C-alpha cells in the first residue's frame, strides 16, 4: 500500500541517497501520521535545509576549519555555441578577460574529449524549445590547466526573438578566501570602514568565533546575552567578537540569529504540522505578530500564506 511503513522507509532511503549524491534540493512531503517515521521525515527535511543553506553561504564549509568559497562559472551562448556573455567569476576561473572568450565558440575552451561529447549531445538538445541536461565537461584555462566538473546545460528560446540560447552553469570550490583577496593565509585582518586594520584574528580567534556561530545555531530559541557579556564568556573582547564575526559571516551576530531563526521557521512551516504559534515559540520569537512581520519582510509571504501554498 502507498501509505505503508515499508513505502515510507523507502522514501527516506531515496532521500538519503539523493543527499549522498549532493542533491540537497530533494525533500519529503510530511504525512498525516504522527509516529517515529513521520518525526524522522521532519528531521531529515530540517537537516537537508541546513546543509543546503550552508552550501549556498559557505560552499560546504566545515564550521571548524577554514571556509571554502563558491566560484560560479556561467557562459551564455547562441545556438552555434558562440559565447555571448561571460561572468567575472568565469573569467577568474579561466584566467582570461571577457574579450578573450566572447565571440568565440566554447569548443575552443574544451578538451578533445569534451568537444566530442558536446558535438554529440547538443543537436539533441536543440531539437526542443526547452531542454536541460548535465554533462561532465573539461574546460581549459588560459594557462593550460583543465577544469573538470559536472555542468548544467540549459537550452531555451530568447525573448528578443534572436533564436535559441544555451546556458552553461557550474560551481567550483576554492579553499580559503576568493581569488586575489590579498589576505594572509594564517591570519585574518578585520577592518572598520576605511581605517587601517586594528585587529588580527589568529586561528584560535577564528575558532572562537565559529564556536559562537555554532552556539547560535544550537540555541535558536534562546536570546543571546549582551555582546560585552558574550565576549567575556568566550574569553575575548567585544570589538574583536563583533567585527571578527562580521568578517567571517558577512553579517552581525544579531542578524545572523534572526536569519537562522527565520530559516528554521520556514522549514517547520513547510515540513511539519506544528501550529504557527508553536513554531514562533520554538524559534525564540517574542510573539506570533513579531514572528509574522519578520517572516514577511524576509520571504515576501506571511507564515500562514506559505503554509497554504505548501499544502
pLDDT greater than 60 at residue 69 = no
pLDDT greater than 60 at residue 28 = yes
Question: How many Å apart are CA 120 and CA 113, to the nearest integer?
Answer: 11
Tell me the average pLDDT across 94-101: 85
Read off φ and ψ for residue 149, nearest 5 degrees: -165, 160
The residues, ordered by sequence, that sit 6+ positions from 239 with a Cβ below 8 Å of its Cβ are 198, 199
pLDDT of 58: 44
Considering only CA atoms, which of 184, 148, 151 is closest in space to residue 166? 151
pLDDT of 24: 66
pLDDT of 253: 92
3-state secondary structure of 181: coil
Tell me the average pLDDT across 91-95: 80
- List 214's β-bridge partners, or say none: none
Mean pLDDT of the residues in the chain: 79
pLDDT of 1: 44
Confidence bin at 150 (pLDDT 50/70/90): confident
Please report the DSSP string for 203-270 in residue order: HHHHHHHHHHHHHHHHTTTSPPPPHHHHHHHTTS-HHHHHHHHHHHHSS-HHHHHHHHHHHHHHHHHH
pLDDT greater than 50 at residue 57 = no
**Exposed/middle/buried for residue 109 (C-beta within 10 Å: 0-12, 13-18, 19+):** buried
Report whether 151 contacts 169 (CB < 8 A): yes
pLDDT greater than 70 at residue 183 = no
Read off φ and ψ for residue 86, nearest 5 degrees: -145, 140
pLDDT of 52: 65
pLDDT tens digits for range 188-211:
554 444 444 456 778 888 889 988
Give percent of the chain above pLDDT 90.
18
pLDDT of 59: 40
Q: Which one is predicted more confidently, 57 or 11?
A: 11
pLDDT tens digits for range 245-292:
888 888 899 999 999 999 889 888 888 888 999 999 989 998 888 999
pLDDT tens digits for range 222-251:
888 888 889 888 888 888 898 888 888 888
pLDDT of 14: 81
pLDDT of 63: 43
pLDDT of 177: 39
Reported pTM: 0.43
pLDDT of 180: 38
Confidence bin at 21 (pLDDT 50/70/90): low
Tell me the average pLDDT across 180-195: 45
Confidence bin at 70 (pLDDT 50/70/90): low
Amino acid at each position: 500500500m502507498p501509505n505503508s511503513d515499508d513505502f515510507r522507509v523507502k522514501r527516506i532511503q531515496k532521500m538519503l541517497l539523493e543527499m549522498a549524491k549532493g542533491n540537497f534540493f530533494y525533500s519529503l512531503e510530511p504525512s498525516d501520521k504522527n509516529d517515529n517515521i513521520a518525526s524522522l521525515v521532519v528531521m531529515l527535511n530540517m537537516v537537508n535545509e541546513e546543509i543546503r543553506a550552508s552550501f549556498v553561504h559557505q560552499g560546504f564549509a566545515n564550521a571548524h576549519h577554514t571556509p571554502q568559497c563558491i566560484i560560479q562559472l556561467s557562459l551564455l551562448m547562441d545556438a552555434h555555441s558562440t559565447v555571448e556573455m561571460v561572468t567575472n567569476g568565469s573569467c577568474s576561473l579561466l584566467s582570461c578577460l571577457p574579450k578573450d572568450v566572447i565571440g568565440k565558440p566554447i569548443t575552443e575552451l574544451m578538451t578533445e574529449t569534451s568537444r566530442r561529447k558536446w558535438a554529440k549531445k547538443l543537436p539533441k538538445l536543440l531539437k526542443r524549445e526547452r531542454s536541460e541536461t548535465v554533462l561532465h565537461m573539461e574546460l581549459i584555462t588560459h594557462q593550460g590547466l583543465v577544469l573538470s566538473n559536472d555542468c548544467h546545460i540549459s537550452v531555451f528560446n530568447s525573448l528578443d526573438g534572436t533564436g535559441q540560447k544555451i546556458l552553461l552553469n557550474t560551481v567550483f570550490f576554492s579553499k580559503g578566501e576568493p581569488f586575489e583577496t590579498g589576505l594572509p593565509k594564517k591570519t585574518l585582518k578585520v577592518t572598520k570602514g576605511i581605517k587601517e586594520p586594528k585587529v588580527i584574528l589568529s586561528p584560535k580567534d577564528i575558532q572562537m568565533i565559529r564556536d559562537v556561530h555554532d552556539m547560535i545555531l544550537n540555541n535558536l530559541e534562546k536570546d543571546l546575552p549582551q555582546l560585552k557579556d558574550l565576549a567575556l564568556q568566550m574569553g575575548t573582547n567585544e570589538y574583536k567578537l563583533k567585527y571578527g564575526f562580521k568578517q567571517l559571516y558577512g553579517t552581525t551576530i544579531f542578524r545572523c540569529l534572526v536569519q537562522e531563526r527565520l530559516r528554521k521557521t520556514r522549514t517547520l512551516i513547510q515540513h511539519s504540522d506544528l501550529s504557527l504559534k508553536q513554531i514562533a515559540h520554538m524559534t525564540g520569537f517574542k510573539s506570533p505578530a513579531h514572528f509574522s512581520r519578520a517572516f514577511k519582510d524576509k520571504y515576501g509571504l506571511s507564515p500562514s500564506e506559505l503554509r497554504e501554498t505548501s499544502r
